[in-house]
Structure 1
Amino acid sequence: MKKILVVVTNHATLGNTDQANGTFAPELTHVLNELITAGYDYDIASIQGGKAPLYGTDMEGDTVNADILADEGFLNRINNTIPVSQVNGEGYDAIFYPGGFGLLSDLATNEEFAQISANHYENGGVIASVCHGPSALLPITLSTGDKLLASKSVTGFTREEEVDFGTINDIPFLLEESLARSAAQYTKVQPWQELVIVDERVITGQNPASAHGVGKALVDLLA
């Protein structure tokens, strides 16, 4: 059975504000729905371990989100995430970083998960992310000394979407700018439209609307 390591943030607010945040639930649940439907298993990990903060848990009309959030197996995993100190990346077929503004405050600079992801990728594994999830790809450095993104075409949450969402003044940094500076190519479409880019074994999605597509691309790549 294929198994995916899902890495989520421990940071529970939007930047340094007191606005509740964390992982944006639909970007996690819609990908998990694709993985579960395909018969794959998963673990959820974070830097500190323990209960991980979620927001977007009450999206009206989103039955996929509601069903996963009510699943006992999911609840056990998200409330008891594996700390990075106990993660063995060799046991997984892919690593997935769901989005949420919290990542900008911890996973975007975390060297431990970056090293796990680098080893995973160099051993033939797949790395996927969506929305703000690609921020966790920024610190990944390969054994050659090159950044993973230096040779990759990627996408991620855009400046326009930050403005639309009202977060442009509160985020620790602008993800679009960081990806454009770090990646071989950064691409975006109109705000809130779906965009999924697959570059060899790296999958990125622009925004929440892209989560389903990221999950599908991940299943297709692992098939």
Structure 2
Amino acid sequence: MKKVLVVETNTTRYQGTEDPTGLWLGEAAEFVDEMNHAGIGVDFVSPKGGFVPLDPRSMKYTDEAIMRVYESQDFVERALKNTLRPDQINPADYFAIYYTGGHGVMWDFPDNPELQKLAMDIYRNDGYVTSVCHGIAGLLNIKNDQGDYLIDGRNVTGFTTAEEIIAGKKSVVPFLNKAAAEARGAHFEKKRFYSEYAVKDGHLLTGQNPFSVRAVAKLLLNEVK
């Protein structure tokens, strides 16, 4: 059976600061947990391959399920130490691509043509393009065969401006998700801050925040039952 390609960041700091960032652990671990229960395999890719840093703040928001995935040697080796490079991926092996979040993705996801091509190849092959929270950054500049933004005219969601303010990061992020998505013609939807919310628009599935990971995963699993 085909697998899901999970995309993670290599960015270790908020650019222009000394503050650490990286992958939001739960946004990978909870998704992997859902795929494991469904018997679906996952691979991990990052813009540069290799090491993926963890946002230290994400370690404060764990539960038993997240820790179980995090403590597995397979996850440590493949998702945190030795992620694949985009040029090592055959998109034909995957029925979906899933962009994780953590603020780091805002710097290395949007302008990566290799990841964009992988996503479009999967999408073009009747696959799914999915994201959660800041992972929407990976969707912003994907273009279809006509040269139009993939999210143009589509319903999407991601980490909101209100959530950036509450997180204390509005002044250091390079863009705001809602404004960036709308600038590309998307219809940005949201619910109350830090509420679980996921949006399905055809083969485009997006989640608002770290509390929406399982909702995105379940939308995807419902599609492929």
- TM-score greater than 0.5 by the shorter chain: yes
Q: Deviations over 1:161-184 (max 9, x none)?
A: 000000001111111210122243
CA distance in 1: counterparts of 2:44 and 2:52, whole angstroms = 9
Post-superposition offset of 1:115: 1.2
Residues 172/70 of structure 1: CA separation in 2 closer, same or farther (3 Å cut): same
Partner of 2:40: 40
Partner of 2:203: 201
Q: 1:122 is matched with which residue: 121, 124, 145?
A: 124
CA distance in 1: counterparts of 2:26 and 2:176, whole angstroms = 22
1:49 aligns with 2:49: yes
Partner of 1:10: 10
Partner of 1:182: 184
Residues 61/85 of structure 1: CA separation in 2 closer, same or farther (3 Å cut): closer
CA distance in 1: counterparts of 2:154 and 2:124, whole angstroms = 14
CA distance in 1: counterparts of 2:152 and 2:214, whole angstroms = 26
Q: Secondary structure at the match of 1:132?
A: helix
Determine if contact 1:154/1:183 at 8 Å carries over to the other structure.
Answer: no
CA distance in 1: counterparts of 2:12 and 2:224, whole angstroms = 32
Moved more, 197-206 or 211-220: 211-220
1:1-150 correspondence to structure 2 within 5 Å: 1-55=1-55, 56=57, 58-59=59-60, 62-78=63-79, 79-150=81-152
CA distance in 1: counterparts of 2:192 and 2:69, whole angstroms = 29
TM-score, scaled relative to structure 1: 0.96
Determine if contact 1:5/1:95 at 8 Å carries over to the other structure.
Answer: yes
Post-superposition offset of 1:61: 5.5
Q: Secondary structure at the match of 1:149?
A: coil
Residues 105/160 of structure 1: CA separation in 2 closer, same or farther (3 Å cut): same
Determine if contact 1:119/1:142 at 8 Å carries over to the other structure.
Answer: no
Determine if contact 1:15/1:101 at 8 Å carries over to the other structure.
Answer: no
Provide the identity percentage.
Answer: 34
Determine if contact 1:24/1:99 at 8 Å carries over to the other structure.
Answer: yes
Residues 59/91 of structure 1: CA separation in 2 closer, same or farther (3 Å cut): same
> What are structure 2's unaligned runs of at least 5 residues?
none
CA distance in 2: counterparts of 1:157 and 1:120, whole angstroms = 24
Q: Deviations over 1:151-200 (max 9, x none)?
A: 31100000000000000011111112101222431111111111100111
Determine if contact 2:2/2:93 at 8 Å carries over to the other structure.
Answer: no
Post-superposition offset of 1:57: 5.1
> What are structure 1's unaligned runs of at least 5 residues?
none
